[in-house]
Chain A
Amino acid sequence: MNEDIAISVKNVSKNFKLPHEKADSIKSLFVNPFNKSRNKFEVQHALRNISFDIPKGEFFGIVGRNGSGKSTLLKIIAGIYQPNKGSISVNGKLVPFIELGVGFNPQLTGRENVYLNGALLGFSEKEVDKKYDSIVDFAEIERFMDQKLKNYSSGMQVRLAFSVATILAESDILLIDEVLAVGDADFQRKCFEYFKKLKKHKKTVVFVSHDMSAVREFCDRAILIESSEIIAEGSVDTVASQYSRLFLDIDEETRSNQSSERWGDQRASFRRVKITSGKVLNDSSQTIIFEAEIIANKDIDSLVTGSSITTATGEELCGTNTQHRKVKIEHIKKGEVMKIVWEYPNIFSDGRYTINVTLHGPNGGVVAEWWEGAESFVVRREEKSPFPTTPDIKLQLIRKVS
């Protein structure tokens, strides 16, 4: 194997046999030994013909949707699963840091867990001894080290696990699976700092994530896995845009049964919500305009109506309501129809967005109607951005030769 390659994956395939009825009791073997249906199983192809090389010192991303096979791939690299076909060669010491705090035992104290977790990562007591203080410092939970882990908050447990892994694991290759999904903002910042350090020290890192902004920020190269195959490989930008396209495609496919949810006591309700501008926006000069028609089904003293925009991944980006904007809607008669026109500037990044509208009493009062996914629109931009929004940011470059 080439000395500069840290991990080489060649033609790896992995199937899982999913028996229709698992023969996990001996009785079923005896009761019905000739029943052929017992041997029937479905073969699920988790990975098909995956090949790639990761050079030493690269921060390599594996992205893909849920169930695409990316975690299976990581487990195969870590040696937890065996591939059915193909081979993996790893050059250097690998820390399988698939998940933090493996083997943590709630009955043991923090200190004891550090040693146990250290042993699982392959470090002897002496080696842990040397670094024990810096682990505790990094986790910032000195006072609690002699308490049982079960009395820790989950955030403290994660901090402890993370610092054991990061301080101890000075190996050449690290596998990281969605560590960022847990922990508060402060902890995430710590993670990012750690990643920056890894990058600086030229460690080889395999990073599996949904979080495209993290992937864009850290990874040098990435692959995109979709239905068990690699569908894109190369620079992070290409992979990331392919990835977001995946969600666009899906949304178009499932357009008709698009998930929209409505609830409320119906004292007033939306008759319709309609986008009056184009449904596809290209640049910041355009705006998205939509109108919502409301009908009062009863006499109502006072109402507040609002709207918000959600990304394809379900993150609420922005929104407002009539109360915030100091628009009063009062003394509504039964049968009255109102129309409210919303205009949002196009600050959105490339992707699909859904519009939610709400109708409720003042100060977050009883909901008359809440409608998630009332409409949707698409933004296609030339300019790619790792950020959720792309407002029209002005910049000026001044160069001087002195």
Chain B
Amino acid sequence: MKTFEQLKQKYHYSAILLRQLVITDFKIRYKNSVLGYVWTLIRPLALFAILYVVFVMFLRVGDAVPHYAVYLLLGIILWNYFVEVTNNGVSAIVGKGDMLCKLAFPRYVVVVSGSFSALISLMINLMVFTFFMIINGVPFTWNILWLIPLIIELFIFSLSIAFILSALYVRFRDINYIWEVVLQAGFYATPILYPITLVVAMSPLISKIMILNPIAQIMQDARHLIITQDAVTIGGIYGNTFARLIPLAIVIILALISSVYFKKKSPSFAEEI
């Protein structure tokens, strides 16, 4: 049995380490680049600009949805966060191999630190988003606070996947290629740049499956709450508000599986790298 004191000491160490790793990560990320942190903003905004020109101005995908530009931007920002966390996750353990072989520290810290760095970028991006939202004339309401629980859900979901990927990548070095493909497919399988109503019109079944994806559910909920009531949520598609519990359950189950799996695998990381 561990005493309370010992537990406190253990987490004290993790907390110190986590803080330093996040700081370091942020310091190093844009070292030697002229624009530095501005890149945190430019990257999602550039993607947004491209998609906006192609899909909104030429293909006129979002004509039916009011404030479609902000609608698209929010989707991209949330998706970008997921991509960043999981990509960090893939290389988190292997990338810190040198450290792992020389020091006994709680392994999960390196994965968590990557997701906190991404969270900081997400916050910066959301501030820019709010700015665009106001320019675009979306009425500002306190509904925006709903973003907090939604981001917590997204945080847990992304982190769970990052845990699994990081542990798998130690053994199977093709995970990064596989994950690249999965992310590309995921970008189109998630209603980021098209309104999900398009899918509902084509095949209600497919839309029902699509919205079970926690990211899709989070994205639609966020859009519904802060941009426009026209954004259909999972409740709207199933005709039942409690349908929201399914993606939520997926997140919780995934979180449990990933922590058990990571815990089981982590003692042997140092040898297998």
Interface-side segment among B13-21, B76-84, B115-123: B13-21
Q: Report the minimal beta-carbon distance from B91 to chain A, rounded to whole angstroms.
A: 15
Q: Which residues of B contact A108 (CB under 8 A)?
A: 24, 27-28
B270-A119 in contact (CB<8A): no
Query: Which residue of the partner chain, among B27, B174, B270, contacts A81 with CB atoms under 8 Å?
Result: B270
Query: Which residue of the partner chain, among A23, A99, A115, contacts B20 with CB atoms under 8 Å?
Result: A115
Q: Which residues of A contact B43 (CB under 8 A)?
A: none
Q: Which residues of B contact A25 (CB under 8 A)?
A: 172-174
Q: Once bound together, how far apart are the Cα atoms of A16 and B271, in whole Å? A: 8
- Residue ID in chain A nearest B96 by CB atoms: A103
Query: Which residue of the partner chain, among B20, B103, B173, contacts A116 with CB atoms under 8 Å?
Result: B20
Q: Report the minimal beta-carbon distance from B5 to chain A, rounded to whole angstroms.
A: 12
Query: Which residue of the partner chain, among B28, B103, B174, contacts A120 with CB atoms under 8 Å?
Result: B103
Q: Report the minimal beta-carbon distance from A99 to chain B, rounded to whole angstroms.
A: 5
23 CB < 8 A contacts A-B: A16-B271, A24-B172, A24-B173, A25-B172, A27-B174, A75-B101, A78-B104, A80-B102, A80-B103, A81-B271, A96-B102, A98-B103, A99-B102, A102-B102, A102-B103, A103-B103, A108-B27, A112-B24, A112-B27, A120-B17, A120-B99, A122-B13, A125-B16
> A-facing mask of B140-177, CB < 8 A → 1, else 0?
00000000000000000000000000000001111100
A276 at the interface (CB under 8 A from B): no
Q: Once bound together, how far apart are the Cα atoms of A65 and B41, in whole Å? A: 55
B105 at the interface (CB under 8 A from A): yes
Q: Report the minimal beta-carbon distance from A26 to chain B, rounded to whole angstroms.
A: 5
A82 at the interface (CB under 8 A from B): yes
Query: Which residue of the partner chain, among B17, B101, B175, contacts A119 with CB atoms under 8 Å?
Result: B17
Q: Once bound together, how far apart are the Cα atoms of A250 and B268, in whole Å? A: 34
Q: How many residues of chain A get a CB closer than 8 Å to chain B's CBs?
A: 30
Q: Which residues of A contact B24 (CB under 8 A)?
A: 105, 108, 112, 116
Q: Known: A105-B24, A108-B27. Contact between A119 and B174, CB under 8 A?
A: no
B267 at the interface (CB under 8 A from A): yes
- Residue ID in chain B nearest A77 by CB atoms: B104
B178 at the interface (CB under 8 A from A): yes
Chain A residues 126-169 with CB under 8 Å of chain B are none
Q: Report the minimal beta-carbon distance from B19 to chain A, rounded to whole angstroms.
A: 7
Chain B residues 89-135 with CB under 8 Å of chain A are 98-105
A319 at the interface (CB under 8 A from B): no
Query: Which residue of the partner chain, among B99, B178, B267, contacts A82 with CB atoms under 8 Å?
Result: B267
Q: Once bound together, how far apart are the Cα atoms of A25 and B267, in whole Å? A: 21
Chain A residues 56-97 with CB under 8 Å of chain B are 75, 78-82, 96
- Residue ID in chain A nearest B105 by CB atoms: A120
Q: Which residues of A contact B173 (CB under 8 A)?
A: 24-25
B residues at A contact (CB < 8 Å): 12-13, 16-17, 19-21, 24, 27-28, 31-32, 98-105, 171-175, 178, 267-268, 270-271
Which DSSP category, helix, strand, loop or mixed, fits chain B's interface?
helix
Q: Once bound together, how far apart are the Cα atoms of A80 and B98, in whole Å? A: 12
B102-A26 in contact (CB<8A): no
A residues at B contact (CB < 8 Å): 16, 23-27, 75, 78-82, 96, 98-99, 102-103, 105, 107-108, 112, 115-116, 118-120, 122-125
Q: Which residues of A contact B20 (CB under 8 A)?
A: 115-116, 118-120, 125
Q: Which residues of B contact A23 (CB under 8 A)?
A: 171
Q: Once bound together, how far apart are the Cα atoms of A240 and B32, in whole Å? A: 52
B104-A80 in contact (CB<8A): yes
B102-A107 in contact (CB<8A): no
- Residue ID in chain B nearest A148 by CB atoms: B31
B102-A79 in contact (CB<8A): no
Q: Once bound together, how far apart are the Cα atoms of A115 and B16, in whole Å? A: 10
Question: Which of B19, B105, B173, B178 has the largest number of chain A CB atoms within 10 A?
Answer: B105
- Residue ID in chain B nearest A93 by CB atoms: B9
Q: Which residues of B contact A115 (CB under 8 A)?
A: 20
B104-A79 in contact (CB<8A): yes
Q: Known: A112-B24, A115-B20, A119-B17. Contact between A102 and B99, CB under 8 A?
A: yes
- Residue ID in chain B nearest A113 by CB atoms: B24
Q: Report the minimal beta-carbon distance from B108 to chain A, rounded to whole angstroms.
A: 15
Q: Which residues of B contact A125 (CB under 8 A)?
A: 16, 19-20
Q: Known: A115-B20, A123-B16. Contact between A98 and B174, CB under 8 A?
A: no
Q: Once bound together, how far apart are the Cα atoms of A26 and B31, in whole Å? A: 35
Q: Once bound together, how far apart are the Cα atoms of A378 and B97, in whole Å? A: 44
Q: Which residues of A contact B27 (CB under 8 A)?
A: 107-108, 112
A107-B178 in contact (CB<8A): no
Q: Once bound together, how far apart are the Cα atoms of A186 and B215, in whole Å? A: 59
B104-A103 in contact (CB<8A): no
Q: Report the minimal beta-carbon distance from A191 to chain B, rounded to whole angstroms.
A: 18
Question: Which of A103, A107, A116 has the largest number of chain B CB atoms within 10 A?
Answer: A103
Ordered nearest first, which 4 A-B pairs have the shortest CB separation?
A119-B20, A79-B104, A82-B267, A102-B102
- Residue ID in chain A nearest B14 by CB atoms: A122
Q: Which residues of A contact B13 (CB under 8 A)?
A: 122
- Residue ID in chain B nearest A103 by CB atoms: B99
Q: Once bound together, how far apart are the Cα atoms of A108 and B21, in whole Å? A: 12
Q: Once bound together, how far apart are the Cα atoms of A119 and B19, in whole Å? A: 9
Q: Report the minimal beta-carbon distance from B130 to chain A, rounded to whole angstroms.
A: 31
Q: Report the minimal beta-carbon distance from B120 to chain A, rounded to whole angstroms.
A: 17
Q: Which residues of A contact B267 (CB under 8 A)?
A: 82
Q: Report the minimal beta-carbon distance from A217 to chain B, rounded to whole angstroms.
A: 26
Q: Once bound together, how far apart are the Cα atoms of A107 and B100, in whole Å? A: 20
Q: Which residues of B contact A103 (CB under 8 A)?
A: 99, 103
Q: Once bound together, how far apart are the Cα atoms of A198 and B71, in whole Å? A: 63
Q: Which residues of B contact A80 (CB under 8 A)?
A: 100-104, 270
Q: Report the minimal beta-carbon distance from A135 to chain B, rounded to whole angstroms.
A: 16
Q: Once bound together, how far apart are the Cα atoms of A122 and B16, in whole Å? A: 7
- Name 13 extra pairs, CB < 8 A, besides A80-B100, A80-B101: A23-B171, A80-B103, A80-B104, A80-B270, A81-B270, A81-B271, A82-B268, A96-B104, A108-B24, A119-B21, A120-B17, A123-B16, A125-B16
